[in-house]
């Protein structure tokens, strides 16, 4: 089975090579860390010998999810190195900022030769995977090496569930390599059981993303707050993690806001860095007044769009929002995390495509802590919230209260990992 999987993986990589080369040449993607992805263990990981805990977080969302857990692991297991791997460049950048670059590396491609090199070099006692990273060769190599394997913040999305069910026999065997699943919800536990995971290997610990610590604000936050205050900028709409097809809808709604609030500004943050130039061209073609974050020199911002063509600053900028819109939701992309604006008590608006965060959005909707709209309703809801300050502030307050009511998953996860690692510690001490 693993030979067949590896052959299919290799063939798929070979056939898709023109795409990866095009992305690398045009957008600079996938070039960073290529040697590490192919099994080249960076020398910096071997500079501090010792027992190892390996945490894998695919991208920015997963890095944020484990950002409270990693420091607690270091505190609880001071004799261990806690190393963090990511798949995406944006996740790598954030992880290096949060966990120090010497502890962070790119996750290897799921070829036996690549993952075995890491297992041999790092000899992890515990492997912690965030959410749904079910790589067959990696899981097999981790099991063969003697590491305990845990999937934390585990979830099975609506989109992926049918595929897992169709390949149930395949995944049942692969997932036997996982010692413990710590799921976000009871529904996720039921779904794991439905695809063949024994109930005794699944516990519900809650969603780590509710416990994400508030980031230290980058200098841009204070700079923009001062600019808005002295320039009379109002209101401020922060539209984050937008995807292809959303910006025209948002800009159309923003034109209606400008008609009543000519001093308004929209902070627009595309989800993917390779789209920064594309969105700038869109703004220019529509004749929208805009400023680029990368070229901004502190001039007044009002009556236009501030294009956030940077990485790692969006979360803190929600603190400036009168209204926060979270993207990937006006078009069928499944939505993105609404907890970042909730952390600042912002009034949150999303589109009606939020399948990727169904449980969080459902919870907030039940608490009247989010507004869900289609493209036609978006400008109407924006205008209603801007006209009613008390309603807008109450919506943001309920969002913050809802977030706080769900905290505690990080501590539950830590306790479960501690129990799992104790047999290893006892064996080592003997």
Is 389:395 a contact under the CB 8 Å cutoff? no
Q: How far apart are CA 261 and CA 289, in angstroms?
A: 15
H or E element: which one contains 392?
A: helix 389-405
Q: Of 91, 85, 139, whose CA–CA distance to 115 is shortest?
A: 139
Q: How far, in whole angstroms, is CA 120 from its chain's centroid?
A: 29
266 beta partners: 237, 305
Burial zone of 272 (CB within 10 Å; 0-12 exposed, 13-18 middle, 19+ buried): middle
Tokens 């913040």 -> residue: 153
Alpha-carbon distance of 160 to 319, in angstroms, equals 33
- C-beta separation of 302 from 365 below 8 A: no
Pick the catalytic residue: 62, 131, 246, 313? 62
Tokens encoding 141: 């190599």
**Residue carrying the six token digits 């507004």:** 371
Q: Is 79 a catalytic residue?
A: no
CB atoms within 10 A of CB 162: 9
> Which are the catalytic amino acids?
62
């Amino acid at each position: 089975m693993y030979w067949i999987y590896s052959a299919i993986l290799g063939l798929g990589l070979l056939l898709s090579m023109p795409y990866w080369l095009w992305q690398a040449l045009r957008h600079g993607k996938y070039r960073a860390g290529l040697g590490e992805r192919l099994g080249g263990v960076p020398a910096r990981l071997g500079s501090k010998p010792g027992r190892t805990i390996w945490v894998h977080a695919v991208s920015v969302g997963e890095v944020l999810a484990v950002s409270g857990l990693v420091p607690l692991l270091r505190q609880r297991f001071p004799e261990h190195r806690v190393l963090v791997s990511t798949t995406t460049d944006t996740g790598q950048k954030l992880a290096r900022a949060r966990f120090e670059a010497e502890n962070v590396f790119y996750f290897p491609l799921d070829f036996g030769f690549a993952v075995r090199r890491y297992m041999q070099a790092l000899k992890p006692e515990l492997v912690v995977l965030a959410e749904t990273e079910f790589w067959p060769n990696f899981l097999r190599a981790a099991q063969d090496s003697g590491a305990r394997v845990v999937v934390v913040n585990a979830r099975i999305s609506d989109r992926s569930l049918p595929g897992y069910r169709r390949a149930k026999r395949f995944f049942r065997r692969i997932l036997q390599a996982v010692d413990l699943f710590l799921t976000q919800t009871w529904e996720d536990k039921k779904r794991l059981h439905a695809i063949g995971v024994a109930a005794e290997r699944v516990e519900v610990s809650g969603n780590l993303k509710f416990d994400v610590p508030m980031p230290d604000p980058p200098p841009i936050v204070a700079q923009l707050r001062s600019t808005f205050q002295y320039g009379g900028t109002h209101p401020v709409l922060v539209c984050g993690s937008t995807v292809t097809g959303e910006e025209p809808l948002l800009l159309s709604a923003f034109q209606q806001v400008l008609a009543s609030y000519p001093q308004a500004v929209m902070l627009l943050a595309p989800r993917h860095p390779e789209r920064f130039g594309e969105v700038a061209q869109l703004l220019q073609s529509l004749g929208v007044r805009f400023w680029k974050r990368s070229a901004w020199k502190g001039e007044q911002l009002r009556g236009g769009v501030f294009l956030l063509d940077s990485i790692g600053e969006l979360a803190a900028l929600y603190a400036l929002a009168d209204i926060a819109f979270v993207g990937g939701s006006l078009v069928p992309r499944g939505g993105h995390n609404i907890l970042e604006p909730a952390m600042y008590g912002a009034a949150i608006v999303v589109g009606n495509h939020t399948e990727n965060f169904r449980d969080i959005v459902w919870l907030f909707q039940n608490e009247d802590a989010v507004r869900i709209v289609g493209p036609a309703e978006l400008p109407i809801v924006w205008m209603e919230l801007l006209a009613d300050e008390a309603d807008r502030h109450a919506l943001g307050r309920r969002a913050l209260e809802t977030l706080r009511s769900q905290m505690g998953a990080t501590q539950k996860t830590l306790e479960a990992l501690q129990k799992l690692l104790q047999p290893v510690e006892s064996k080592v001490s003997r």
